[in-house]
């Protein structure tokens, strides 16, 4: 059974950090290259431009969610050697930032400003992966980029597609109610979250779950699903055809009105427990 060589594309953040770090450590021999998305890339307006867009669309109530999920982990990542030394987690993959972990495992990495640009195309030619895997990645791959891998690509989506396709599925699931959470693995397609479904599971989460914690838990749940799918691909030499579903409306970042409705219903995007988890990504397990 020949295991496919994987090009893994991720945005390292609270939702996926521990799961993806463990994935890389467990499957180091299968990872051909890791692409780390630059969340502050110029094409998105940089940090200031993105904050302005979120303020215009969602209002200031959205900023704590962004800070806990993305801002704080990014800010504290350079301090990882210190926090790991203090807490004794230096050798723990789950507590090691991805760039450091990949260097330790001799896995090539690149910073991705444009996943469809010439730098990524060159990396895919050089490392010749059989399969592209995106696991919490914030850029849309073109058909040409997907086709650069012999078998195509897979995306892990923390939602029950075709519902809640878009960048914040757990916020929309939180709004819909307790039975709306789940994890989907699907074929990569040029249109966001529309590829054939390869595996899908509804996941029961605690009633007091935040949108942030739901995303962390669903990405962790998806690891078991992914292992089973990758084992099947290695056995059969191909990605399954999957199950095609209708394309439902895109679910964008939340509006201010949506956030106010969630707040009236006592539903939270994030809380102090999530803040502690974000602060401790490199300092505890």
pTM attached to this predicted model: 0.96
Q: Strand 6-10 vs strand 131-135: parallel, antiparallel, or unpaired?
A: parallel
Structural domains in the chain, sorted by start = 6-278 (3.40.50.170)
Strand partners, 187: 154
Contact 28, 107 (CB under 8 A): yes
Kindly tell me the sign of the dihedral angle through the C-alpha atoms of 124, 40, 73, 226. negative
Cα separation, 20 vs 170, whole angstroms: 19
Compute CA distances 121 → 24, 116, 126, 151, whole Å.
Answer: 22, 7, 9, 16
- To 5 degrees, how large is the angle CA 153–CA 118–CA 131? 15
Contact 244, 160 (CB under 8 A): no
Phi, psi dihedrals of residue 264, rounded to the nearest 5°: -65, -30
Cα separation, 127 vs 130, whole angstroms: 9
Residue in the structure block whose two tokens are 């595996």: 199
Mean pLDDT in each 10-residue stretch from start to end of the chain (285 residues)? 92 98 98 96 87 92 96 94 92 96 98 98 98 97 97 98 97 95 97 97 97 98 98 96 96 97 97 97 85
Nearest to 192 by CA among 140, 241, 256: 140
pLDDT of residue 157: 98
Kindly tell me the sign of the dihedral angle through the C-alpha atoms of 123, 11, 283, 285. negative
Nearest to 282 by CA among 60, 37, 81, 7: 81
Contact 141, 190 (CB under 8 A): yes
Phi, psi dihedrals of residue 250, rounded to the nearest 5°: -70, 140
Strand partners, 197: 186, 243
Nearest to 103 by CA among 15, 31, 11, 39: 31
């Amino acid at each position: 059974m020949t295991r496919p060589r994987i090009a893994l594309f991720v945005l390292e953040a609270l939702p996926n950090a521990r799961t993806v770090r463990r994935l890389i450590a467990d499957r180091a021999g299968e990872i051909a290259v890791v692409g780390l998305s630059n969340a502050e890339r110029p094409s998105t307006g940089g940090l200031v431009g993105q904050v302005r867009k979120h303020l215009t669309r969602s209002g200031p109530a959205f900023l704590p969610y962004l800070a806990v999920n993305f801002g704080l982990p990014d800010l504290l990542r350079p301090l990882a050697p210190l926090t790991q030394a203090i807490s004794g987690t230096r050798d723990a993959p789950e507590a090691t930032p991805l760039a450091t972990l990949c260097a330790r495992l001799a896995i090539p990495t690149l910073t991705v400003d444009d996943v469809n640009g010439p730098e990524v195309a060159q990396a895919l030619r050089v490392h010749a992966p059989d399969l592209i895997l995106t696991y919490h990645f914030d850029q849309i791959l073109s058909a040409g980029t997907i086709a650069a891998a012999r078998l195509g690509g897979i995306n892990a989506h923390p939602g029950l597609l075709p519902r809640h396709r878009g960048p914040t599925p757990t916020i929309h699931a939180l709004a819909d109610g307790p039975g709306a959470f789940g994890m989907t693995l699907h074929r990569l397609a040029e249109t966001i979250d529309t590829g054939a479904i390869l595996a899908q599971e509804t996941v029961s989460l605690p009633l007091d779950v935040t949108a942030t914690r739901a995303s962390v838990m669903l990405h962790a749940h998806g690891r078991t699903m992914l292992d089973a799918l990758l084992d099947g691909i290695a056995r059969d030499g191909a990605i399954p055809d999957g199950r095609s579903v209708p394309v439902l409306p895109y679910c964008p970042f939340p509006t201010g009105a949506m956030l106010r409705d969630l707040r009236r219903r006592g539903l939270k995007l994030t809380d102090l427990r999530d803040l502690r988890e974000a602060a401790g990504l490199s300092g505890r397990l």
